[in-house]
Amino acid sequence: MPELLEVSGLRTEFKTSGGMIRAVDGVDLRIKKGETLGIVGESGCGKSITSLSIMQLLPLKIGRISAGEIRFEGRDLLKASRREMRGIRGNRIAMIFQEPMTSLNPVFKIGKQISEAARYHLKIGKKEAWKRSVEMLTKVGIPRPEKIADQYPHQLSGGMRQRVMIAMAMICNPTLLIADEPTTALDVTIQAQILDLMRELQEKEGTSILMITHDLGVVAEMCDRVVIMYAGQVVEETDVATLFSDPKHPYTQGLLASLPQLAGDADRLQSIPGQVPNPLHMPSGCRFAPRCPHRFERCEQAEPQLLEDETGHSCRCFLYEKREVLS
């Protein structure tokens, strides 16, 4: 099956008072039709910046894409005009942002905000757009949708606001849905409901999902394949079952080891020593080397390449450099 989205060699830079920083450095991604790809990593690893680069929502004065291609349905989005991107954004590609309270406009009613995308992209009238908004609120499981459509964001709970964000993203039946931490700050019951809702909508519409999260439980439940990012780079990529059964990169192993255990001899949570490097002062060689328990001399002298085995499992680590397959 051809790729729906293919990101190649993406580099995204920001101008800061201390100089230019490369928040995303040579990232490659691919998503097929109907597939869910997870991007996992610590805060500051470049997950959200990758999604904003795809949507071309970087702050104009300080952020820029300096290299790479972003091909969507065979077309390079980096060569599209602003007008063409406005026709794609919210229509063919939609995004659920991390915090719905800051993403929804506090002075407009819910129905009006959902209707706006339908009116712009589907070229329909106000009444028809409002009707579609109410129908979409019903699809995302909101009770009394007519009443909710006539309310303001501050009148809704966090879970309800997140459902509104999903309704807004799905109203034009996008081909690709980017979900940036869609369950952050929600209690576990609401989290489960939101994930079930996204899965149900995906099954009905055939939508591909790019799931950005730091929650490996969400990854296990939702994703087909997983990309692990660290300090702006992809360090491992594989299918979700292999990630949990046979992680290769020391960083991935550290993430999995830090998960709480319900039983066993671990009395306290394990953690990865050290901290994410300052993007203005990246370490020479492997970026994870200062925190890696398996580092050796070469790790501090040269940067490892992302190697892929015959099963499609990729890893950026010198431990596997001289082997044709990662084993």
End-to-end Cα distance, the chain: 28
Amino acid making up residue 227: V
pLDDT tens for the 327 residues of the chain, in order: 678 999 999 999 999 998 999 999 999 999 999 999 999 998 889 999 999 999 999 998 899 999 999 999 999 999 999 999 999 998 999 999 877 777 899 999 999 999 998 999 989 999 999 999 999 999 888 999 999 999 999 999 888 898 899 899 989 989 999 999 888 777 888 888 888 888 888 988 889 999 999 889 899 999 999 999 999 999 999 999 999 999 999 999 999 988 877 555 556 778 899 888 999 999 999 999 999 999 999 999 999 999 998 889 999 999 987 554 444
Angle at 153 between CA 152 and CA 154, to 5 degrees: 95
| Torsion angle in degrees (nearest 10) through CA of 68, 74, 76, 81 | -160
pLDDT, residue 180, reads: 92
Rounded Cα distance, 262 and 272, in Å: 20
CB 225 within 8 A of CB 238: yes
Selection from 153, 89, 147 nearest residue 121 by Cα = 89
Read off the pTM. Answer: 0.90
- For residue 322, what pLDDT is reported? 59
Read off the tokens for 56. Answer: 């071309």
- Which of 175, 47, 147, 156 has the alpha carbon at shortest distance from 100? 156
Is-contact 309 324, C-beta < 8 A?
yes
pLDDT at position 94 is 94
| Strands annotated E in the chain | 3-16, 19-32, 36-40, 63-72, 75-76, 93-96, 176-180, 208-213, 225-230, 233-239, 306-308, 314-316
Half-sphere exposure of 210 (CA within 13 A, CB side): 28
Q: Which residue has the tokens 């040269």?
A: 302
Judge contact between 212 and 179, C-beta under 8 A. yes
DSSP alpha helix (H) spans, 89-246: 100-103, 110-122, 126-139, 145-149, 158-170, 188-205, 216-222, 240-245
Q: How far is CA 24 from CA 7, 8, 66, 77, 78, in A?
A: 12, 12, 10, 17, 16
